[in-house]
Amino acid sequence: MSIGNAEDRDVVSGSQKQTERGTDVPRSFSACAKMPIFAPGPISAQKCSIVYCAGYFKCIIVILTMRLDDIRSIDLNLLVALRFLLDECNISRAAEQIGLSQPAMSRTLKRLQATLDDPVLIRTKTGYRPSPRATEISDALDRMLGDLELIFEPPTFDPSTYHGEIRVGAPDYELFVVLPSILSEVRAKAPGMRIATQSISPDNLTALEDGVIDIALTSSPDSSAGCFRQKLFDEELVCAISSNNPSASSRLSLETFANLGQVVNLVTPNVGSEIIDGYLHSHGLRRIVVARTHNVLAAVQMVRESDLVSTMRRRVAEKFTGEGGLVIHPHPVPLPKFDVFQYWHERQNTSPRNIWLRRIIAKACQDLK
């Protein structure tokens, strides 16, 4: 069987096959195995083995090259025409289905016959019938066209039928505030989706760049190379103290804030700590640090069970007011607000699954503003 256009076929010249491009191409394994690898002469048995193996692998390379060259010469449109011809067994009806004229479909059939070296359709008393060869390759043709459709079809995502995991990385604060707000909608629209969380530092997007996570939620203002971001909301810092603290019912002055023992939440942006210390220093004050922690819940617990104070993000502290045991005061130090973003890598920029979850997160965060 010859594959490809007529101009690419081999022509026989004597006992040697040559292509019209002038390159000698052996057409069988036996021919490849006989190809000389070393100069002729007396050689040992070990060298014979090397020659045999080298000849074998050279044969494989040549065969693969031949197949790639042959495949490259095939017009994929012929496969679509072949499918309609085999389904209809009628040139006119196949032409109508594919949007060609009857003469154009007749020319296409002739190209198929030349490419496959087979009549494809055989005339009978009752009309055309597929040739034995065409019948034999029909199932393979269906599989190939199905695979091509998957390759060229735009990616889609159906949350209702999806089963799998999506990975979200964030510091404790973002996991604590953002994730609970999206779970109910995710469960309702994508019941087969699992969200796996990973704790990351606020200014480290390495896990996102390395493909360890799919989306990062963080207040980091710097976007790494190859990453996109979307602002979700802004946040402010407040003072949180226990409802049992004697200072809970009165305005928290700068002096009172400085004199209370401090629980420093290291998840809070470093700029906040720098501004606080600088502002206190400018007023001749200095805060007393009793504890430091990266854990948001640990900071909350230490404050509500002591007479300490902590600078916290407002949305965290609000979750523990009232029966939670915390009282919120405006911060006596003028502190700027900061933004919370969701980040994703450019690899995921057009991923339907990633886009879907990013929209869910953005919508849920609108209610947090």
Domain 237-336: CATH architecture, name and number where available = 3-Layer(aba) Sandwich (3.40)
Q: Which of 254-258, 268-272, 287-291 has the lowest mean pLDDT?
A: 268-272
Task: Judge if 164-235+339-366 and 237-336 fold alike in CATH terms.
Answer: yes
pLDDT, tens only, 37-59: 444 444 444 444 454 445 544 54
Average pLDDT rounded to a whole number, residues 216-220: 88
Give the start-end residues of each E strand in the chain. Answer: 10-13, 16-19, 121-124, 127-130, 164-170, 193-199, 215-218, 227-235, 237-242, 261-265, 288-293, 309-313, 326-330, 338-345
Average pLDDT, the chain: 80
Average pLDDT rounded to a whole number, residues 138-143: 89
CB 228 within 8 A of CB 346: yes
User: If you search the block for the tokens 């009628």, which residue do you land on?
Assistant: 90
The pLDDT of residue 200? 87
The pLDDT of residue 269? 56
Average pLDDT rounded to a whole number, residues 129-140: 91
Tokens of 187: 């469960």
Average pLDDT rounded to a whole number, residues 136-158: 83
CB 130 within 8 A of CB 89: yes
pLDDT, tens only, 322-347: 888 999 999 999 999 889 999 999 99
Average pLDDT rounded to a whole number, residues 135-156: 83
pLDDT, tens only, 71-95: 666 777 888 899 899 999 999 998 8
Would you give the DSSP letter of residue 7?
Answer: G
For 42, phi then psi, to 5°, come to: -65, 125
3-state secondary structure 184-231: HHHHHHCCCEEEEEEECCCCCCHHHHCCCCCEEEECCCCCCCCEEEEE
pLDDT above 90 coverage of the chain, percent: 47
CA dist list (Å): 297 to 33, 47, 96, 118 = 72, 72, 69, 75
**Bigger pLDDT: 25 or 228?**
228
The pLDDT of residue 247? 86
Burial 166-178 (b: 16+ CB within 10 A, else e): bbbbbbbbbbbbb
CB 364 within 8 A of CB 178: yes
Judge whether residue 281 has pLDDT over 90: yes
The pLDDT of residue 271? 60
The class (CATH top level) of 164-235+339-366 is alpha beta
∠ CA 352-79-138, rounded to 5°:
100
Work out the pLDDT band at 268, boundaries 50, 70, 90: low
Average pLDDT rounded to a whole number, residues 297-321: 92
CB 95 within 8 A of CB 102: yes
Judge whether residue 160 has pLDDT over 50: yes
Q: Could you state, in order of their start, the residue ranges of all structural domains in the chain?
A: 6-72, 77-152, 164-235+339-366, 237-336
In CATH, 77-152 is 2.40.10.170:
no
Length of the chain: 369
Work out the pLDDT band at 4, boundaries 50, 70, 90: very low
CA–CA gap between residue 169 and residue 179 (Å, rounded):
10
Q: How many Cβ atoms are within 10 Å of 273's Cβ, its own excluded?
A: 17
pLDDT, tens only, 165-186: 999 999 888 888 999 989 999 9
pLDDT above 70 coverage of the chain, percent: 78
Work out the pLDDT band at 31, boundaries 50, 70, 90: very low
The pLDDT of residue 126? 87
